[in-house]
Structure 1
């Protein structure tokens, strides 16, 4: 049996298409090794025509590590590790900004696997950008300025209280999530624990300030970094088809879910793989 995966880069910095694999079945060690190294190299991988159940998606994600249980998103009945992102006019998306998933915890996710379940007739693309490419494009003096700086990441920046007042139960869940997830500090530059590459690790979704700087300095620097990270040169854009799967390295990427499809409905399932504490090593 041929176990060689076909991997086609989609751009010079980020993104690759994976073919000749069925992700709803257990991967052999050889297949997983290829997928893992492709993920390290290309940072986000895409596969077409991969119908997976929540249980199968959970099993695939668990090959990479322990899974995260999200504090506020709804979960599938079959597997609570799989969150449901079901958006329309009555439940508009809250992820239509550039963000890295769950950086508001001490050990942000290693990665995530997203499966397309129901799509609008047009629109709803997702874009990813490379924190590695963004870092490497900076000048040496600017990299030296950022070295050793720490930034605060706050759950409430993206998950704002007013969005979770539809029912008393929902509001109570939000209050518990806020209490359980106080703001945390992470390095502005993150060293990838496997490849050793450096990446920018601040994101518009959750980063509130650079704690080592004065307020105006922090705001000015973050504004520059947010805009720099999301330059089109560092991006890949994926036009979803039903049953597509995306797998990304959350440690060195950001993504943006385009909200141009409303009032139509879009349903995605996501598994989130726990990671380790970010660090910077010169």
Structure 2
């Protein structure tokens, strides 16, 4: 049979992002493409199909272990590029419960990453950021020694960097994948915090107050940045209102869903009241070392996390040393909601423990 010329052409046309970053440096493009506004969709979380025992993962991995009590699990001996649908469903459930799961020495490339991400939801195309040529679904992480001044204009303090991705969308990110393939000689870690444990650490009175409040999330700063650099703003939507306490649709657990990256104010409060409460919550998140995990990347490591119940913060301590590069795939999930009948993770685990004890003879 004659070879498929089109498939051969596509194969040769594939981008090697690692090579581009290491040899060329910044390579992203900023097309003038405009997109229609994002449409609402019904999100069916694959974690609903997950096995509570995650047997497809645990029976095939070399080792699976938790990095901290509340957040972060590492899996050894599995390649994300080779996971079947059952394993992806079990991974979605594990990520929903543990917040973030890490894999090292991964061979998954950006094209496989796109197909992987589609299993978990429609892939988000960023409103203003650049991307690799012909790959608008890919968000690039690239910073080097020339980035210091640029970042200084936006992040004055490391704790300002805490965020959950694109929360100004009506249906923000759910399960998210990031692969880092190029690192400086030292530094460049990333931290994640648990929204579940952050909620549990609040006093009952403050929990009750927050459960009745919503916050406005805005991407206006990203639009302003794009316009200043004469880049195209692809869609007009920029603001969404979400509950401060969010219920995860699979675990049913409550999570604190607020962060300094995109939240502007709390609905219905005066500016002074809103600023005071938000400052308290931001300090609660950044200072919550007992519900954070700090991951020390090695090249070709991958993090898979649930943006609905975590915040994360990149550590820019390497900008005088070298470059850090990777790529992210960002499936969208459901519109955030709060179910007053939902429970905290601590409540759910306590009830499950009591029930298990009562079943013992």
TM-score, normalized by the shorter chain, greater than 0.5: yes
Where does structure 1 differ by over 4 angstroms across 4 or more consecutive aligned residues? 92-96
Q: Describe the superposition over 1:101-142 as per-residue Cα deviations: whole angstroms up to 9, x where unpaired.
A: 000110011121000021111111000000110001112111
The answer for the alignment partner of 1:268 in structure 2 is 326
Task: Tell me the TM-score normalized by structure 1.
Answer: 0.91
Q: Name which of structure 1's ranges 263-272 and 240-249 shifts more when overlaid on structure 2.
A: 263-272
The 1-side partners of 2:177 and 2:130 are apart by 16
The answer for the alignment partner of 2:183 in structure 1 is 119
The CA deviation at 1:160 is 6.1
Structure number with higher helix proportion = 2
Q: Does residue 198 of structure 1 match 2:254?
A: yes
Mapped contact 2:128–2:226 kept (Cα < 8 A): no
Uncovered stretches (5+) of structure 2, i.e. residues with no partner: 1-55, 341-361
Mapped contact 1:54–1:78 kept (Cα < 8 A): no
The answer for the alignment partner of 2:267 in structure 1 is 211
Task: Tell me the TM-score normalized by structure 2.
Answer: 0.71
1:60 pairs with 109, 112, 116, which one?
116
The answer for the alignment partner of 1:4 in structure 2 is 60
The CA deviation at 1:7 is 2.1
Matches within 5 A, 1:27-66: 27-66=83-122
Mapped contact 2:163–2:262 kept (Cα < 8 A): yes
Residue 273 of structure 1: SS of its match in structure 2?
Answer: coil
Q: Does residue 235 of structure 1 match 2:292?
A: yes
The 1-side partners of 2:133 and 2:174 are apart by 24
Aligned length: 273
Q: Describe the superposition over 1:54-75 as per-residue Cα deviations: whole angstroms up to 9, x where unpaired.
A: 1011111112121111112222
The 1-side partners of 2:145 and 2:181 are apart by 18
The 2-side partners of 1:18 and 1:53 are apart by 19
The CA deviation at 1:143 is 0.8
Q: CA RMSD in A?
A: 2.0
The answer for the alignment partner of 2:5 in structure 1 is none
The answer for the alignment partner of 1:161 in structure 2 is 224
Q: Describe the superposition over 1:2-41 as per-residue Cα deviations: whole angstroms up to 9, x where unpaired.
A: 952332111110000012211123x223322331221122
The answer for the alignment partner of 1:105 in structure 2 is 169
Closer, same or farther in 2 for the Cα pair 1:213/1:253, shift >3 Å?
A: same
The CA deviation at 1:42 is 0.8
Mapped contact 2:67–2:74 kept (Cα < 8 A): yes
The 2-side partners of 1:139 and 1:216 are apart by 21
Bigger CA radius of gyration: 2
